[in-house]
Amino acid sequence: MDSNAYLLHRLESWGYTLEERPRHTYLAYCGLDQPFTYVLAHGVVKTSIILKSGKEFNIAYLKGPSIISLLRDEVSAFTSAPFNIRVESERASFYKVPRVELWQNINGDSGLQQYVKEYYRQRWSESIRSQQLMAMNSKKGVVCGFLLNLAQKFGRTVSNGVMIDLVIPYEDIAGFCGISTRNSVNRIITELRRDGLLELRNRHFVIPSLEGLREQIAE
């Protein structure tokens, strides 16, 4: 049993039940007190923060099964949510676990302790890669890197390449890539399509050649 399956198995064995929400439902809002940790079983959510300017800055798309956020300390019943959590798939199912109870259970289970260590290692690695991408590339390179990351998470092989099996609005791409407007994203996407590096099919991005897109990125 892999670590994600083990996590879901343990939650079920502890008596927690799945809840379900439709697309664009918010599970948490940045800065508001939050007594729960959300464990995504199926579906996709987006995490984001609101900058002082009022602009939304996107952090990550997360695909279940996964803990969405372990939040800060282990003993406070309430703590402020570090980011917004919004459902992006048609539906998402999740466990809503009182945060202190979750930590108590984790501390008594060596398998879950290993899961938490890997969770933080993976999030740290993703953060470093994102910072490198933003620092070393033009806007076009950042968008290409973002699309490649999505292909790795959500890609499925189709007849002419790899389709990202998630509808990604241009506003979201701008928010993930630090680009000020969707018009700038539209120009980059148009250029990639013109050069044969990207296609659109039923609102989904198709990448004909992952290597071709990777060549646009400074590493």
The pLDDT score that the predictor gives to residue 30 is 84
- List the structure tokens of 179: 């680009």
Least confident window among 6-10, 70-74, 76-80: 70-74
For residues 23-59, one letter each, b for 16 or more C-beta atoms within 10 angstroms of the residue's C-beta and e for the rest, the string is eeeebbebeeebebbbbbbebbbbbbbeeeeeebebb
User: From CA 27, how far away is CA 14, in angstroms rounded?
Assistant: 22
Contact 34, 7 (CB under 8 A): no
Topology agreement, domain 3-132 and domain 137-214:
no
The yes/no answer on whether domain 137-214 falls in CATH 1.10.10.10 is yes
CATH topology of domain 3-132: Jelly Rolls (2.60.120)
At 181 the pLDDT is 83
Predicted TM-score (pTM) of the model is: 0.83
Domain limits, the chain: 3-132, 137-214
Amino acid 78: pLDDT: 58
Give the pLDDT confidence score for residue 70 in this predicted structure. Answer: 66
CA–CA gap between residue 134 and residue 132 (Å, rounded): 6
- Mean pLDDT for the stretch of residues 132-153: 91
Q: Tell me, what's the pLDDT at 53?
A: 77
Task: Give CA–CA dist 120/101, Å, rounded.
Answer: 19
Q: How does residue 18 score in pLDDT terms, banded at 50, 70 and 90?
A: very high
Q: What is the mean pLDDT of residues 7-13?
A: 90
Measure the CA–CA gap between 172 and 14, rounded to whole angstroms.
36
State the pLDDT at residue 79. Answer: 65
Q: Distance (Å, rounded) from C-alpha 172 to C-alpha 176?
A: 6
Rounded CA separation 143/122 (Å) = 21
Q: What is the pLDDT of residues 30-53, one digit of tens each?
A: 888 888 889 999 999 999 988 877
Computed over every residue of the chain, the mean pLDDT equals 88
